[in-house]
Structure 1
Amino acid sequence: MMFGTGILVAILFYAVIVAVLAVVVYFVVRLAVLHALKAHTHWIDGGKQ
């Protein structure tokens, strides 16, 4: 019985790690996209003047 519980705990542990990494990647990509859009908008506005 202990062996099955250990596997369950390991799966939950890895699931939590994967979830945290997914959230971190999401925010990094979101930040990068927002920064790129801001830079692109600034570049386009600069070309209009």
Structure 2
Amino acid sequence: MNSVTATGNTIDEAIASGLAQLHIEEKQAEITVVEEGKKDSLDYLAINLLL
């Protein structure tokens, strides 16, 4: 089982980043939001993708 935690300013950016790291399509991953917040006045989102 492979997993990766990815971040982005939007959910779409975070998902795209994680999918690229695992070299898979969205339908192949179980996606869970890990954390949402602000850092240096920017919104961020961390997700976990499990293959």
Normalising to structure 1: TM-score of the pair?
Answer: 0.29
Higher Rg: 1
Structure number with higher relative contact order (C-alpha < 8 Å, ≥ 6 residues apart): 2
Higher share in helix: 1
Normalising to structure 2: TM-score of the pair?
Answer: 0.28
Higher share in strand: 2
